[in-house]
Amino acid sequence: MTLAIKNGHLIDPASGISEPMDVLVEGPTVKQIGKDQSADELLDAAGCVVCPGLVDIHVHFREPGYEFKETIKTGSRAAAHGGFTSVVTMPNTNPPIDNAGMVEFTLRRAREVACIKIHPAACATKGREGRQMTEMAELKAVGAVAVTDDGADIESSWVMRRVLEYANMCRLTYLAHCEDASLADGGVMNEGFNSTKLGLPGLPKAMEEIMIDRNIRLAALTGAKIHIQHVTTAGGIEIIRRAKNSGVRVTCETAPHYWTLTDDAVTDFGTNAKMNPPLRELEDVEAVKNALADGTIDCVATDHAPHTFTEKDVEFQIAPFGVVGLETALALTITELVEPEVISIERAVELLTSAPAKVLGLPAGALEEGGPADITVFDPKAEWVVDPEDFESLSGNTPFAGRTVRGRVQATVCDGRIVYQRKRQP
């Protein structure tokens, strides 16, 4: 079987291509990139961008343990719907992914039920308790692509140093959720004017920045590769910028809600605007945008964190942290960054494809002859209204419901198979 994706505008940041081009797919691979391709099956991409399948290195698929929020199957469908063909799943499941058997379980489930590619990250410490290291060499041997205790930081600097040393020896990147637990304790939203007004306990920016700084210093000390997850503050970005300039092996990501919303959203959207780290202030949103444009922030990741309606339908203080993101990420990138000319469409595609793939060395994020046929086709001009009812995710906890956005996925192809295609409207 061959498939031709015709009449689209091809953007492949890895090779620097941005021009009208057809893509010919044969089986699971890209056979040819060029003009006037013909094939058994045709996918018309007129008016659309054709790019490598999107890559998200930070998602929570909740299996095992919390299958009522999301499963590997529903998470993969949400990913395909959002244009993603490769994701890295976080290990804070129940039980956590802290041994080889659990990594194998994730990969086996993925083979059985997922329509896209799942790359598991594994815990850095047993039970994510921040005390005893996991068997990282073994975890890597069975397919873990990174180690992390995401959801929390490692409190002890001594343990963190050992973790980074061992991860470095195993050539694994540590994904760092930076949070000083003692400073964050009890906080539910950004500490500032709004938290005072609402009478809610705050999460100061320092809780994040102290640990970004500590973790980077330990990375410098050990020579390890560290990736800072979900950076949200101007101060945190400044620390990372300085570290990069002085040669530390540090990369970082941010999520779409951090360049789209401030903590004002807590008043408007309630618990669907509750996540950790929390939404910050205008100066932070501006700093995030600038850092995406100048390359200080390496890539976009969604931190897709599904919770059910019932779990979120409670008082702000007791609601769980987290929002879903896979099905709105591309549109929020286009609407909030490309259309206002903060970044180019090519940079947007890079932030969602080759850049995240490069952070972890994943075999994804590029379109090349002979390479995997993981391809996303999206209409950058198409306008739509976010409606969680349309999500493939089991959960709909988004602060963007009802928001009009631009940029819609028309088709997602993974290993040459169309895993999502938008139905034509009558």
Active site residues: 303
126, 159 contact by CB (below 8 A): no
Q: Identify the CA nearest to 5 among candidates 32, 35, 45.
A: 45
The radius of gyration computed from the CA coordinates of the chain, to the nearest angstrom, equals 20
**Region of 30-38, 59-67, 105-113, 143-151 interacting with Zn ion (CB under 5 A):** 143-151
Q: Is 213 in the site for Zn ion (CB under 5 A)?
A: no
Please, what is the minimum distance in Å from the beta carbon of residue 326 to Zn ion? 16
**How far, CA to CA in Å, does 343 sit from each of 47, 351, 414?**
20, 10, 27
Closest separation between CB of residue 151 and Zn ion, Å? 6
Name the minimum Å distance from CB 214 to Zn ion. Answer: 16
Stretch that binds Zn ion, among 126-134, 135-143, 144-152, 383-391 (CB under 5 A): 144-152
User: What does the alpha-carbon distance between residue 105 and residue 122 come to, in Å, rounded to a whole number?
Assistant: 12
Q: Of 79 and 211, which CB lies nearer to Zn ion in the complex structure?
A: 211
Interacting span for Zn ion (CB under 5 A) from 49-57, 145-153, 357-365, 403-411: 145-153
Applying the rule CB under 5 A, the residues between 37 and 56 that interact with Zn ion are none
Nearer residue to Zn ion within complex by CB, 150 or 208: 150
Positions of E strands within 216-313: 226-228, 250-254, 299-300
Q: Is the peptide bond preceding residue 399 cis, with omega within 30 degrees of 0?
A: no
Are residues 92 and 150 in contact, defined by beta-carbon separation less than 8 angstroms? Answer: yes
- CB-closest chain residue to Zn ion: 177
DSSP secondary structure letter of residue 257: H
Torsions phi, psi of 338, nearest 5? -80, -50
If binding means CB under 5 A, how many residues of this protein chain bind Zn ion? 2
DSSP string covering 159-182, please? HHHHHHHHHHHTT--EEE----HH
Using CA atoms, how far apart are residues 294 and 28, in angstroms rounded to an integer? 35
Site residues for Zn ion, window 165-184 (CB under 5 A)?
A: 177
Give whichever of 260 and 335 is closer to Zn ion, judged by the CB atom.
Answer: 260
Please state the closest distance from residue 380 (CB atom) to Zn ion, in A: 30
Q: Which is nearer to Zn ion, 177 or 227 (CB)?
A: 177
CA 160, 161, 166, 170 torsion: positive or negative? positive
Q: Measured from the CB of residue 164, what is the shortest distance to Zn ion in angstroms?
A: 18
Phi and psi angles of residue 148, each rounded to the nearest 5 degrees, phi first: -165, 150
Minimum CB distance to Zn ion, residue 255 (Å) = 10
Cβ proximity to Zn ion: between 121 and 377 the closer is 121
Q: How far is it, in rounded angstroms, from Cα 225 to Cα 361? A: 12
The interface mask with Zn ion, positions 276-295, x = CB under 5 A, is --------------------
Calpha distance 303→89 (Å, rounded) = 10
Residue among 149, 150, 209, 336 that touches Zn ion (CB under 5 A): 150
Minimum CB separation from Zn ion for residue 230, in Å?
6
Closer residue to Zn ion, CB minimum distance, 277 or 396: 277
Identify which of 184, 185, 226, 187 has the alpha carbon closest to the alpha carbon of residue 209: 184
Choice between 322 and 396, CB closer to Zn ion: 322
* Contact residues for Zn ion, defined by CB under 5 A: 150, 177
